[in-house]
Structure 1
Amino acid sequence: MRNKVVDVREALSVVKDGDVVAISGFNLTTSPEYLILELFEMYKETGHPNNLFIISDTLPAVPDRGLDKVFAELYEDKNQNFIRGVLMPFIGWSPALMKMTLENRIEVYSYAIGTTSYWFREIASGRPGLITKVGLGTFLDPRIDGGASNEIAKEKKTCKVELMEINGEEWLLYTAPTPDVTFIRGTTADTDGNVSMEEEGFYGTVLNMAQAAKAQPNPGKTIVQVKYVARKDTIPTRNVIVPAPLIDYVVVAPDADKYHRVSGSYVTDPRLAGTVKTQKTKELESLLPTPDKIRDRIAAGRVLIETMKLVAQLKKPLFGNLGIGIPVFVSWLAGEFGYSDFLALTVEPGPVGGIALVGQDFGVAISPNAIIPMPDMFTNYEGGIIDFASLGFMEIDPKGNVNPSYSPVRVSGPGGFPVISAGSPRTFFAGGFTAGKGIDIDADNGKLIINSDGNILKFNEEIVKIVFSGPQAVKSGKQILYVTERAVFELTENGLRLKEVAPGVDIEKDIVGKMNFKPEIPEKVETMPEVLFYKDLAPLKEYLDGILKEGGIL
């Protein structure tokens, strides 16, 4: 076999005008940043390649790095013809791409991360696309937006979602153009092109993306960015993640700190790669964000109560997922109370267990118990294999539909939210009751104290974008709770129903009066556990210990 290690420009010369280019990357993890930036330099120098359509399993960028660095320059060039469109499940780490989306400058499509990750596997198998129920009744449904994030995307329909009927049930078929060239990243490649990923934070979708480029009827090229080159046949067999036949060119990144970081804040760290396991300590757990607002702690505590009830019921550690926002504080609280071993938590791109990092490092975990490929992780979500999920929310409507992140001036993309929320058998949405300026909420002696509320209502008759469908969840028999610092709602066939209120709260004034619709209110509304409303965490710990002892866990 020929030596596949080549100069970056030789490898990138296979990218032609009009090509569809697939690029791996969940933030900076598995992002081939050197290939991305060098391809853009070629365009700036020669005007070629141009008119590219880019597809990623997530988004190979964080602010000012990777693809965001490219879009920041493209945004200033009103006549750019480097990129004509993108399919990106999440664009929130690229402010420039979000602005280009809102200004209708290029086609932008946003399928869920799990859907896009699966899609690579499906087209690699020669299938027309991905068939799934995920997205029914949401903005992904073709009867609404079909995954298009702006008007030009709705017009061009380069990526499409079609409604199907199978055995009398509705399904969605997700399609997109297949890649002509794929950029992926590994740690080491031998001269034949076998690729290992021993220093990467996870495997992501790199194998399936390489396979997708090679699938018939129009097989293309795969270029891999690595840190090291090994001699032929010297990478241990079980370490090879992408075998040589799937690789056409190997390019070595010249500067790992500049082009090959394991995550936004780390160049490399064996704890993130899972090659070194450290004991959980207070120092490590301090990496978890801690709530600086008592209202956030209350909501997180209420979710923790629900999860510990489930531990007591199922008599096993819970397999689950915690989203961004208030749900991350659930993990912190569990650590404070010594309950971490009761939660086997996952992160979308593949880590199971460990301490999941946040911000620009989201996606990796310190000392995970396992790391699996991203499509397989999303199988755990979509198949309802996990026991629960807790996710954040920005807006909720009377039917229980949820918008987690969209506003009229922000189009971040759905991320992993649609698959996790649609598949999990139990989802506990958690967030503050209101948002915006002026919030002054306290708690003491078992009561909630609302001094003033935010100026933005979150329970609205209509929401900006439906990303979770309440009616579909009811149809599928899911258990859905909506948890805030002052009230807990449950989802019923009739929509949102008030289940619990905080002690010290007036239902009409503090709940219904701060909503743009009136939920169903039963004759008897339960009271949220008073132990949530103390400055000290000790009453909550005692309450939770009681739940676990009653269930025979402690």
Structure 2
Amino acid sequence: MTIVKITDAEEALSNIKDNSVVAISGFNAATMPEYLIIKLFDLYRRTGHPSGLFIVSDTLPAANNHGLDLVAKSMYDEGDFNFIRGFMLPFLGQSPWLQRLALENRVEAYTWPIGVSVHWFRSKALGLPVITKVGLGTFLDPRQDGIYLNELARERKACRVELIEIKGEEYLMYDCPKPNAALIRGSTADELGNLSMEDEAIYGTVLAITQATKAMPNPGMVVAQVMYVTKAGSIRPKGVHVPGPLIDYIVEAPMEYHTQSASIKYDPRVCGRVTPSNICLQQDGKMDFEKVIARRVTVELVNLLGKVGKPLIVNLGIGIPSTVARIISEEGLGDLIFTTVESGPWGGIALNGDDFGVAIAPFAVIPMPDQFTIYEGGAINATSLGFMQVGPRGDVNPSFLPERLPGPGGFPSIVHGAPRIYFAGAFTAGKRDIRIENGRLVIGRDGDIVKFVKKPYKIAFNAELGLKAGKEVLYITERAVFRLTPEGLLLEEYAPGVDIERDILSKMEFKPQLSRNIRQMEPELFREGKLGLREVALKMLKQ
């Protein structure tokens, strides 16, 4: 007698009923059960069932034209919006079609920080909501916008966030309906259904999603997508990530629907089967302003290394911050500055874009709930995150615009816990011609979109609360470096070749303070060749 049924996708998915709450794993393409997602939608197209599904996820089971993004696009092409009635997704940035569903009020759309989401799956397995300080004073706070991405969500409130007080302190309580079905993914299952993840880029939240779905009341059904099925007992006990008795159906998927990331089908360096001695990725040799920003962040980390007196643990966000990992590798700092990505990798070189969440040759990978416990508890030394808008007080909007709803991602959870935050991004946005020439910044044409604004569209980092928590906060751009103070932003550095009034102050909607000791950014940041930061770091550590 078998514990789990190894079958085809249609037989397994036919057990999902109309109006089910379906939990789906996925940090973009990593751990996304794309084959099950596509086959579930195909089943609906043929039979009209299951319909009215509510999707919850740890991050985003989609990438551009993959997974749920492809499903949402097909819904538009076919003019049928009955398959999904709503979703709670912490991140929509890699899915333009899911964003469109939300913007046009086609489905209920809710969003939480990734940290809240991954902790919620564990809490829901205990029958509890999540109670946390993450999100206080931001757009997630019900005194501001709350977790609702559109009017349909605001009206129906299937998921909710509430302000509560415990012993005189404010907290937010997040909750959503318990999943009664789950689609997860692993690498291999044995005949007993035991699931291993040896060829996956990350562990994600696969186990916690399973736990939440199987919990009382009304234990749900779990379907797992795998690449291979092997004999019973052939997976080492400690290699089992999800025990077979927690899984109802195993479905083998074609490789085309089981890629490690959006653009990587399989790379042994990503899953840790091979750890090369030299993991520095090929550099394009181009000295541009984005590299200058990443270098300046790295210099700040080296300075912090000298203050702390021991190797650092840092988090790097998407965009320019993820480039910091390449600079750390280029400068030979990998054994002194340990980078982490919110999806779970430690070390290695973090990838960007649709591949964000995956790292080349990490030295460790841990489950996402554990990664965010480390972040929110402040067990890291610093984080570097991107920004879209900065306000006069130092409040930050990382990515929201009226026509763009990417979700908060891990941003609110990370800034809540990190003791030092180095925001990193271009000073302006839009079409621009900004070059590095002869060790100077040359602004041929500046971006026409101002990023330092009087009022950010949405606040995801509350500067006042950050200061109260004793955080050190810098805003690092290619032409200026600001520090957060109780009086607002303080301009401390400017780039060589830049006129402070013309190129900085006139491109801001508010006037920052000017430091009495304002100085030029280090000219070496704007020159070709290594900066020699390893030698600097080792000298600091010996002092």
TM range (shorter): over 0.9
| Counterparts of 1:16 and 1:77, CA distance in 2 | 22
Which amino acid in structure 1 is aligned with residue 64 of structure 2? P
Task: Measure the CA separation in 2 of the matches of 1:162 and 1:460.
Answer: 29
Out of 375, 381, 391, the position equivalent to 1:387 is 381
In the superposition, the TM-score normalised over structure 1's length comes to 0.93
Question: Which of 435, 459, 483 in structure 2 is aligned with 1:490?
Answer: 483
1 CA distance for matches of 2:101 and 2:202?
30
Distance 1:439 1:407 in 2: 24
What corresponds to 1:143 in structure 2?
143
Q: Normalized against structure 2, the TM-score is what?
A: 0.95
Q: How does 1:32-47 map to 2 (within 5 A)?
A: 32-47=33-48
Q: 1:541 aligns with which of 532, 535, 541?
A: 532
What residue in structure 1 maps to residue 511 of structure 2? 518
- Consecutive unaligned residues of structure 1, counting only runs of 5 or more, are none
| CA distance in structure 1 between the aligned counterparts of 2:541 and 2:194, rounded to whole angstroms | 50
Q: Classify the secondary structure of the residue corresponding to 2:22.
A: strand
1:503-536: CA deviation from partner (whole Å, max 9, x where unpaired): 4433332222110111223444233223324x33
**Cα gap change, 1:162 to 1:479, in 2 (>3 Å):** same
* Distance in 1 separating the partners of 2:286 and 2:143: 41
- How far the C-alpha of 1:44 sits from its partner, in A, is 0.5
CA offset digits 1:242-287 (Å, max 9, x no partner): 012211111122x12x221122222223221112221124xx422x
Deviations 1:468-489 (A, max 9, x none): 2111211111111001122111
- The change in CA–CA distance for 1:341 and 1:60 in structure 2 (over 3 A counts) is same
| Cα distance change on mapping 1:435 and 1:381 into 2, 3 Å | same
1:208 counterpart residue number: 208
**Judging changes above 3 Å, is the alpha-carbon distance between structure 1 residues 410 and 500 closer, same or farther for their aligned structure 2 residues?**
same
Give the structure 2 partner of residue 250 of structure 1.
250
Q: Compared with structure 1, are the counterparts of its residues 395 and 291 closer, same or farther at alpha carbon in structure 2 (3 Å cutoff)?
A: farther
Task: Tell me the alpha carbon deviations over residues 39-78 of structure 1, each in whole angstroms, 9 at most, x when there is no partner.
Answer: 1111111111111100111111111221111111112344
Matching residue of 1:95: 96
What residue number does 1:276 align with?
274
> Structure 1, residues 443-501: CA drift from partner, whole Å, max 9, x if none?
535x5443432111100011122122111211111111001122111112222222222
Spell out the pairing of 1:117-132 with structure 2 (5 A cutoff).
117-127=118-128, 129-132=129-132
**Between 513-522 and 293-302, the greater mean CA deviation after superposition:** 293-302
Please identify, of 447-456 and 105-114, the stretch whose mean Cα deviation from structure 2 is larger. 447-456
CA distance in 1, matches of 2:460, 2:355: 24
Match of 2:542, SS state, is coil
Identify the range of structure 1 (151-160 vs 353-362) with the bigger mean alpha-carbon deviation.
353-362
Q: What are the residue-to-residue correspondences of 1:28-67 with 2, within 5 Å?
A: 28-67=29-68
- Note closer, same or farther for the CA distance 1:82–1:369 as it changes in structure 2 (3 Å cut): same
Partner of 2:83: 82
CA distance in structure 1 between the aligned counterparts of 2:288 and 2:267, rounded to whole angstroms: 34
Structure 1 CA distance for aligned equivalents of residues 510 and 292 of structure 2: 24
CA-CA distance at 1:375 after TM superposition: 0.5
* Whole-Å separation in 2 of the counterparts to 1:157 and 1:400: 31
State which of 285, 310, 335 in structure 1 corresponds to 2:281. Answer: 285
Q: Is the 8 A contact 1:441 1:452 kept in 2?
A: no
Do the aligned partners of 1:308 and 1:548 also contact (CA within 8 Å) in 2? no
8 A Cα contact 2:289 2:435, kept in partner: yes
1:547: how far off? 5.7
1:363, distance to aligned residue in structure 2 (A): 1.5
The equivalences for 1:183-262 within 5 A come to 183-253=183-253, 255-256=254-255, 258-262=256-260
In structure 1, what is the equivalent of residue 71 of structure 2? 70
Bigger mean CA offset, 377-386 vs 463-472: 463-472
Instruction: Return the letter of the residue paired with 1:527.
Output: Q
Q: Which of 318, 322, 327 is 2:321 aligned to?
A: 327
How many residue pairs were aligned? 542
The Cα shift of 1:162 comes to 0.7
Cα distance in 1 for residues equivalent to 2:497 and 2:28: 43
CA–CA distance in structure 2, aligned partners of residues 435 and 200 of structure 1: 36
Residue of structure 2 in register with 1:469 after alignment: 462
Structure 1 segments, 4+ long, off by >6 Å, are none
In structure 2, distance between residues paired with 1:488 and 1:4: 58
- In the alignment, residue 393 of structure 2 is paired with which amino acid? K
Aligned partners of 1:527 and 1:265: how far apart in 2? Answer: 40
Query: Which of residues 344, 350, 369 is equivalent to 2:344?
Result: 350
Deviations 1:6-50 (A, max 9, x none): 232221122111110000011111111111111111111111111
Amino acid paired to 2:77: E
Secondary structure at the residue paired with 2:514?
Answer: coil
Cα displacement (A) at 1:441: 4.2
For structure 2, the 5+ residue unaligned runs are: none
Counterpart-to-counterpart distance in 1, 2:13 and 2:199: 24
